[in-house]
Structure formats: C-alpha cells, structure tokens
Structure 1
Amino acid sequence: MNLIYAALAFLMALVFGFVGVTRVGSWLIERRNPPIGEFADIDGARIHYVHVPAPANAELPPIVFIHGASANLRDQMLPLRPLLEGRAEMLFFDRPGHGWSGRGTNNENPSAQANTIAALMDHLGIKKAVIVGHSFGGVVTSAFGREHPDKTLGLVFLAPATHPWPGGATAWYYDLTTMPVLGWLFSETLTYPAGTLQMADATTCVFSPNKVPDNYLSSVSIPLVLRPTAFRANATDVAGLYRYALAT
C-alpha cells in the first residue's frame, strides 16, 4: 500500500511540476510576444487586431486577412502589409482564441468566426472588403462569403482548407486535446514542453519542400499557440474542420 501511495504522490508531483513549467513558459511567451494592435469587444470575445487605414486615393478596395491554424495576425501582416500599405485599407486580426484574441463563448466553428469578423468590420466602419484566407482561414473565408455576401467584394484563397479530405484524419494531439478532462490535463501539462521541442521540426514540415523563412518562428510569434487556452482553441478548430466541411 505504501508503494501505491508513493507512486500516486510521485505522479501528482510530476503533474504539478509540468503545470508549473507550462505556466512559467506561457508567461515567458507572452512577455516575448506582446500584443501589437488594439482590442475590441465583439459579442463577448476580446479581439486583437491591426487596422491599417487607406489614403484618400487608395487604388485597391479594403482587404481583410484571415490567418490559418496555429498562427496569428503576424503570419500574413509581416509579408503583405509592406506590399499593400498606402494602396488599400487593411484589417489583420487574431482569430478568436488565437494570438491575443479571446475565444468568447460562440466561436467554436468557422461560421461563428465569420460572424465575429463581420461584427469587427462593423465596429471599424468597413462596409465591404475582399476577404483573404490562408489555410484554415480559407474555410472561414468560405463561410464569410456564404453568410455575409453584403460585406463581400471578393474571396481570395491561399492554400485553403475548405473541403473534406480522404479519411478526415488530423494529428492525434488535436483529437486528444478536445477530449473532456484528459484534453484539459494534456494541454495544461505537456503541450508547452513537448511543443517547444517539436516546433522547429513541425514548421520545417509545414514549409517543405521550401525553406522556412529566416527567423519565422520568433518574428511571427508562433509560440503563442503553445499556451494552454490557445492550444485548446486551435485543437478545437482543427479537429472539427472535417465535420464542418462535410456538413457544408
């Protein structure tokens, strides 16, 4: 019996140790990657965004950029803002639960996130825009076009995730993270240390066969996704994508 108690005590100490490592790691990530934009309360979700106004003689219509899984507004803003600033009004934002945006209570699928984007556009006085979606942002872009045609000037898809794929499989850790209790425990203990060790290799795989841009991970603040709440939001998005694509 004493051995059982000792094993349980060791297990609990290990869990609390990993929780502590994750909390400290998340704090360091946030210190190194502070918000760079403004915030708006959109239907209970605190959304972080960068709004770039257009000059009076803008040659292009307003453009709204929707980033993909595991990312945040910097992923599109850093390469594209320098090319378009002074030519168009631009809106970059962290999707609900990603980067510095709160998840809120009603952003669990692409349609709900499209509604949040439409409300953010209303908040900023953007009546219509070209919507640009990358990767997972593609399915949100598609939902936006269907549900808010009055706000849509055009849709641009960059390597979009919009259709069902054979088998519908996703990485095991996304499915695990969406499980009740066990998923919460996993995200609060192991995603930060394990994700930190695997992030460089995973990024190389994503960009393959191309080279990962210099300083990509740090400049785009990708480690923000390793915080437990962000990881759970990202896992919910990715794990639910196949079912959503089938249904729509």
Structure 2
Amino acid sequence: MTIVFVILIVLAALIAAGLVYTQARTRFVEREVPAQGSFIEIDGQRLHYVDKGSVEQGEGGAIVLIHGLAGNSHNFTYALTELLAQRHRVVVVDRPGSGYSAPRPGAFSLVAQADLVAALIERLGLDRPLVVGHSLGGAVALTLAVTHPASLRGVALLAALTRVIDTPPAAFKGLDIRSRGVRRFVASVVAVPMSVLAGAKSAEQVFAPEPIPADFGVRGGGLLVQRPVAVFTASTELTQTPDSLAPIVARYGEIGMPVAILYGRGDAILDPVLHGERLPEVIAHADVTLIDGGHMIPLTAPVEVAAWIERAVERSREVQAA
C-alpha cells in the first residue's frame, strides 16, 4: 500500500466524517431552533416570515425588519419584535437561504432581494411600511428605497452596510470564498465542524465590545448558521455584495424619503463614520444617531432601538405630510 493511497483513504474518511457530522448537526440545530413563523411563495421563491401585531395595531404604521449577513429572523424576535408589536404590525423576513427561507440561484443580489421584499409587502397588504435593515439588511433596505420607492414610507438603518468595502470584516474572512465549487464543498464538509469548534470567537467579534447573550444560540438564532445552506448563502452574499451594492450607492441621491441611521459607537464590524455619519452627504433626508454599543444592538439594546424606530416612524410621517 503506497503512501499516496493511504493519504487518499484518510482524506476520504475525513470528508465522509465531515458530511455525516454536518448532516447530524443540521438536524440537531433545526430541532433546537425550529421555524417560528409562516411560509409564502413569491415568484417561485419560498420565504419564511414572522408576522406580529394586528391590522389594528398596524394603524401605528407597519414595520418590516430585514436581518444581516449570516443572520435570521430570530435576531429580531429575540426582543425587538415584541416591543414594536405593541403598537405596530411587524413583519420579519428571512432573506433567501437564511433562516428558513429557501435558497434560490439568482436571489442573492440586492436587487433580487429588494424585489422579493416589495412583493411580500404587496402580498401581505402592508400600507407603505417603514423598512428597517440591520447590517447587510440595511443595504437591501436602501436598494428597496431606490428600486421600489412607492412600496415604503421610510428606511431605518441599524449598523447598516451602506458603502462598498473590498475587504470583509475579520469575523467574516473565513466566508470569503470566490469559487462556487469550493464554497459548496466547504459549506457541506468543513464549515459546520469548524463553526462548532471556533464559532464563539467569530461571534465575540460580531458582538464586541458587548458580551454575547447567553441564550443567543437558541433564542437569538445563532445556531442556525451551523447549517450548510446558511454558510453557502453567507459566503455567496459576502463575495457578491460589493458588485451588487456599487450601482445602488451611485443612486443614493434619488432617495427622497427619510432615512434614519443608528450605530453603536463601538461597532467592530462596520465603521460608524463611513457607513453612518457620512450618509447625509449623499441622502437628503438622512439623520444619524449614535449610541453606546456594538454591531448587534438589535439584540443588546432592544429598548433603545425600539424607541429609535418609533421616532423614525413619526419622522417618516412628518416628511410625507410636508
């Protein structure tokens, strides 16, 4: 038996072990953190969403919440959704390939995702909601404002990606895989075991300078990223978003609706100055607020964030009435 043959056998065994472990871990994660909302099919895309509050509560203004890279609807239902649903109808959507929304080739671009959100708003009968986007979800919200301005009354950006960045944040560098084939292999065999072993370090970077909530894995949906579909989606979005965002940034001057921006001063993922404080230079009705905290303020500062969103709703009404 040659050394090459032995190496091939070992590699095959490791790959098989990775596949088996990944499948088992996926089943475990989906038992621990099951789908919490409803499903709808739009143009062949199966979306999972959470709908809280009543139509009557929606008289306070409907709100749509869009999560960020490697996130899901649990990031908002952790605490923020219940606070907002006391006065509003609140819809939280899992973006394609994230949470429990199905992946679909071609659905990862910002324009494609904005098209889906606009269609969801119409199908659910929401009357020009305030659209709130966290991190990459903020880029989707801004794309919606550019491509479907009649679908919403305003945009609220939470620690949002608003500019093109060529170098990904350190916490996400492991997802920077350019080859689709390699990305699929890593997602199916390697990423889930590695995430279980070293995922806490990445989560610490995402939450810094604040601690990770002890119940983030289940209540906050953190475990859902430990599935091949979530890894593949996050990697695809990370590599494709710069090209997808550039033409949207070039059209920011077209946005006439109010845009509220909230950032934690200690955000270790996205620069609050570049992505937040400088946005009013290119968007006429943009307003920036800074609070203490990091990138995950929807989970770590839900009361402050909910109060800020309430003000964004009121401001969107004032601008619309003027």
Is the shorter-chain TM-score for this pair beyond 0.5, marking a shared fold? yes
Question: What is the CA–CA distance in structure 2 between the aligned matches of 1:108 and 1:81, rounded to whole Å?
Answer: 25
Q: Which residue of 2 aligns with 1:64?
A: 64
Q: How does 1:89-128 map to 2 (within 5 A)?
A: 89-128=89-128
Q: How does 1:12-91 map to 2 (within 5 A)?
A: 12-56=12-56, 58=58, 60-91=60-91
Question: What is the CA–CA distance in structure 2 between the aligned matches of 1:57 and 1:97, rounded to whole Å?
Answer: 30
Contact 1:45 1:105 in 2 (8 A): no
1:99–1:240 distance in 2 versus 1, CA, 3 Å: same
Contact 1:53 1:90 in 2 (8 A): yes
Deviation digits for residues 116-156 of structure 1, max 9, x if unmatched? 11111222111311000001101000001111111111100
State the AA in 2 paired with 1:27: R
Q: How does 1:90-169 map to 2 (within 5 A)?
A: 90-165=90-165, 167-169=166-168
Deviation digits for residues 196-247 of structure 1, max 9, x if unmatched? 1222221111111122223122211212112112211111112222222333
State the AA in 1 paired with 2:226: L
Deviation digits for residues 1-57 of structure 1, max 9, x if unmatched? 632222212211111111111111111111111111110011112111111243536
Secondary structure of the residue aligned to 1:190 is helix
1:26–1:197 distance in 2 versus 1, CA, 3 Å: same
Question: What is the CA–CA distance in structure 2 between the aligned matches of 1:222 and 1:19, rounded to whole Å?
Answer: 21
Question: What is the CA–CA distance in structure 1 between the aligned matches of 2:247 and 2:119, rounded to whole Å?
Answer: 24
Q: Give the Å deviation of 1:58.
A: 4.8
Q: Does 1:173 align with 2:213?
A: no
Q: Give the Å deviation of 1:72.
A: 0.5
Contact 1:168 1:242 in 2 (8 A): no
Deviation digits for residues 174-205 of structure 1, max 9, x if unmatched? 222x4132221111111111011222221111
Secondary structure of the residue aligned to 1:217 is coil
State the AA in 2 paired with 1:147: T
Question: What is the CA–CA distance in structure 1 between the aligned matches of 2:237 and 2:13, rounded to whole Å?
Answer: 32
Question: What is the CA–CA distance in structure 1 between the aligned matches of 2:20 and 2:150, rounded to whole Å?
Answer: 48
Give unmatched runs, 5+ long, in structure 1: none
Q: Does 1:222 align with 2:217?
A: no
Give unmatched runs, 5+ long, in structure 2: 249-322
State the AA in 1 paired with 2:50: V
Question: What is the CA–CA distance in structure 2 between the aligned matches of 1:57 and 1:115, rounded to whole Å?
Answer: 26
1:147–1:2 distance in 2 versus 1, CA, 3 Å: same
Question: What is the CA–CA distance in structure 1 between the aligned matches of 2:167 and 2:19, rounded to whole Å?
Answer: 32
Large movers: runs of 4+ above 6 Å: none
Contact 1:130 1:153 in 2 (8 A): yes
Contact 1:58 1:86 in 2 (8 A): no
1:182–1:89 distance in 2 versus 1, CA, 3 Å: same
Question: What is the CA–CA distance in structure 1 between the aligned matches of 2:234 and 2:168, rounded to whole Å?
Answer: 16
1:223–1:57 distance in 2 versus 1, CA, 3 Å: closer
Question: What is the CA–CA distance in structure 2 between the aligned matches of 1:247 and 1:172, rounded to whole Å?
Answer: 24
Question: What is the CA–CA distance in structure 1 between the aligned matches of 2:37 and 2:57, rounded to whole Å?
Answer: 25
